[in-house]
Structure 1
């Protein structure tokens, strides 16, 4: 009986505990089918959704302006670290009205070509409405880089949650997130959080500050828990 309880405990830990070296001293309770450790970020991935649920990384203010390598010749590619049944492909997004939205952003890691290429793996991508991706989300990611320049090094969680359907059976049933969020962990212990609906409406003129929330709002809406040890 004791052995059975032990095995169940190990199973639950693998399903709901997500730890990342980029966010030390924090426990994250979230169900991950696969945990992928890339060169500069960690991914909690959902095989059912065919997208990441959450990506954790650090932003170094000393590096983000060091090279700015072009993304011109980079292409989105499937992640062969994932089993075939879990993968999504760039063509799944073609003519769907959704952009291939990065969770770990290219602009943070364009100082290193190998890391930059990993941001274009489909394990780091989820459907994002174009006006959100190209307008409001760009402002939020620019704000992250400003904080990194100010504090020199910060930790970040980018995640998606909820569902507005899928891209379709012929497209590997890729989940369309209802929400995108970003949590910035500052060295002083404070957090800055954004929670944004995955829509086009009014995103062209929207201001990032309009989507500031407390971390508890993200935890409640996305059914996750992020606790400091």
Structure 2
């Protein structure tokens, strides 16, 4: 089960959701929804030690080949959409190995975010979480999109969230 194979990220078990597919990565776990073409949630465990190891940011966004073709978001879905590919498990937190950094750029870890939110508000929150990891030595984080209204879609049906949550 995912809880067994990916328990290092799921201290409280698998979040309740309508996820169609569960994936375990080096740095995080994902519950992915085929209908929204977004993760329902991403969970990760970080420590003061891991957040203080840095590898060069790759910026190598790529489709997730473990997702069925019809359910995956693609690079072209975001092109010209006005939305950023917003990390759910942040690359700056996943940079403790080259492989975990690479996995953080999989499209299954992205969700449409307005540029101002992604590059300012969300980035500042991600930095604060890393500061908390340094202060408390370790944290478990679950984050994902919220769909309150009909924000529409981009590309080939990637649903735009109305908000995001982060539970620490």
Normalization by structure 2: what TM-score?
A: 0.91
Preserved contact between residue 50 and residue 172 of structure 1 (Cα < 8 Å): no
Matches of 1:48 and 1:103, distance apart in 2: 18
Please state if 1:101 is matched with 2:124: no
Tell me how far 1:75 sits from its aligned partner: 1.5
Is 1:82 aligned with 2:67? yes
1:69 is aligned, of 40, 43, 55, to 55
TM-score (normalised: structure 1): 0.68
SS, match of residue 135 in structure 1? helix
Which one has the largest radius of gyration? Answer: 1
Q: Check whether the contact 2:11–2:140 (CA below 8 A) recurs between aligned residues.
A: no
Shift of 1:27: 5.4
Aligned counterparts of 2:123 and 2:35: Cα–Cα separation in 1: 28
Matches within 5 A, 1:11-160: 19=3, 21=7, 22-26=9-13, 28-66=15-53, 68-71=54-57, 73-160=58-145
- Gaps in structure 1 of 5+ consecutive residues: 1-13, 185-229
- Runs of 5+ consecutive residues of structure 2 not aligned to the other structure: none
Instruction: Supply the distance in 1 between the matched residues of 2:158 and 2:67 (Cα, whole angstroms).
Output: 15
Q: C-alpha root-mean-square deviation of aligned residues, in Å?
A: 1.6
- Higher relative CO (Cα under 8 Å, sequence separation at least 6) belongs to 2
